[in-house]
Structure 1
Amino acid sequence: MDTLNFDGSCDPNPGGIMGFGWIINWSTGKKPTEGSKEKKPSPSNTNNVAEYTALKEGISNYLKLGGKGPLHVRGDSKLVISQMSGKWKVNNENLAKIKEETASIIKKHNLKVKFTWVPREQNSIADRLALPKSRRNKVSKTESKTSKESSVKPENRKFVADVNSSSVSSKLRLQINELNTSPSPGFKSFAQLKVGGFDSFSRKKLETLQKEAGSKASSIAKKEFPKNSSQQASALRWMLRGLSTDLAIKKVKVDIELSKKRKK
């Protein structure tokens, strides 16, 4: 079976340059085919849009090169793989449009496709190809090591709640999914993550949040913010909204830093 590995990137996320990368391994044994494209910065650019576009471009390229299938598609985006497999719903119009376009291409060519999620380390070539050309050959060993030490890989993140089942707005759900699937979310991404008023978690007190989140999550929040119950509550709210435990802690720390800057 032919295989297609794909990956997408947006730097910075959102709004930055999008990169799309893919590699086709042919069952016939011929040399693998690599491909990549870029898109200029735009407010609508996001990591998930890049991931979906990389998938669409990869499949289109496969067909142009004479691929007939069956095709085994592999990617490290749980969002894209789960939605293309029909396991998760698509709650964003931009993603829904690209998903429909991709599904139409598959249907038009009667292409049999199997979708499989893989860890990022098993998607390294597509990951490299997805980087903008200006960055592709400039990622030093030091930067790679620092990134690994300072962040949790998406596939290893722990969750208290599933954002796709959580009672949050569609816009917030998209933002949370973007962060959860991003290897190293930046300060700006956390700063832009806002409820936009109040939701079902906003008015819940710490005791209630601790019961709903569970003892393990509550212990993590208490360990990170031992002297501030308000910050503990904030971290638990983000966990219950669907943000991974490590990112929920980072979100609160970014908010603390922003608050300090506003007071200066």
Structure 2
Amino acid sequence: MREFIVEADGGSRGNPGPAGYGSVVIDAATGETLMEAAEYIGVATNNVAEYKGLVAGLKAAHDLDPAATVRVRMDSKLVVEQMSGRWKIKHPDMKPLAAEAARVFPSSQVTYEWIPRDRNKHADRLANEAMDAGKRGEQWSPSASTADLDTRAARAAAEAPTGPPPRRPAG
């Protein structure tokens, strides 16, 4: 059975303010980015943008393989706790978005994990690219994105050996 990682983020410049989201589907076995999505959504709250990023990532993963298991990683404690069922969803704007996210895959196929913001840079960059494009009156385009390149560089740096350089024999 295939496993995907969905990383999603949303943001707004002002709360509410101009908002966008970004989401990434990653093959859990290889670490390969399979899909990126981002969209400027107009004026919205940060939480609405976060949920829209989650929905977009789940739908993209479902399009790739509806039988896959999905590990969602987000830096939004609110979304992770609400979608995990540990916190109630009280805000009326969040309820339909959470319900939409819950309908994409059976709950048995999806797990949620909170990650620190610095480990969600790919999705964050996509959300910011979408907001920047919206500010210019444009749509986000995957061909103009640098998010995956930045993420690959960060992964390579994280995997590089650390410590002092090897010693050379005297002579």
Q: TM-score, normalised by structure 2?
A: 0.69
Residue 27 of structure 1, CA deviation: 3.2
Going from structure 1 to structure 2, the CA distance change for 1:71 and 1:134 (only over 3 Å counts) comes to closer
Counterpart of 1:129, as a letter, is L
1:98 is displaced (CA, Å) by 0.4
2:68 matched to 1:84? Answer: no
Structure 1 alignment gaps of length 5 or more: 138-264
Judging changes above 3 Å, is the alpha-carbon distance between structure 1 residues 72 and 40 closer, same or farther for their aligned structure 2 residues?
closer
Higher strand proportion (structure 1 or 2): 2
Q: Residue type matched to 2:128 in 1? A: L
Does 2:117 correspond to 1:120?
Answer: yes
Q: Percent identity?
A: 33
Provide the alpha-carbon RMSD of the alignment. 2.2
1:38 lines up with 2:39 in the alignment: yes
Map 1:1-264 → 2, pairs under 5 A = 1-16=3-18, 18-29=19-30, 31-42=32-43, 45-107=44-106, 112-133=109-130, 135=132
Query: Secondary structure in 2 aligned to 1:74?
Result: strand
Q: CA deviation at 1:70?
A: 1.4
TM-score by length of structure 1 reads 0.46
Structure 1's 11 and 36: CA in aligned 2 closer, same or farther, altered over 3 A? farther
Q: Which has the higher contact order (CA 8 A, sep 6+)?
A: 2
The residue type paired with residue 104 of structure 2 is I
| 1:73–1:40 Cα change, 3 Å | closer
How many Å apart are 1:30 and its aligned residue? 7.1
Give how far 1:28 is off. Answer: 4.5
By how many angstroms is 1:40 displaced?
Answer: 4.3
Say whether the 8 Å CA contact 1:4–1:71 is kept in structure 2. Answer: yes
Whether the aligned pair in 1 keeps the contact of 2:4 and 2:69 (CA below 8 Å) is: yes
Is there any run of 5+ residues in structure 2 with no aligned partner, and where?
Answer: 134-143, 145-171
CA distances 1:214-238 after superposition (whole Å, capped 9, x unpaired): xxxxxxxxxxxxxxxxxxxxxxxxx
Shift of 1:68: 2.5
Give the SS at the match of 1:130.
Answer: helix
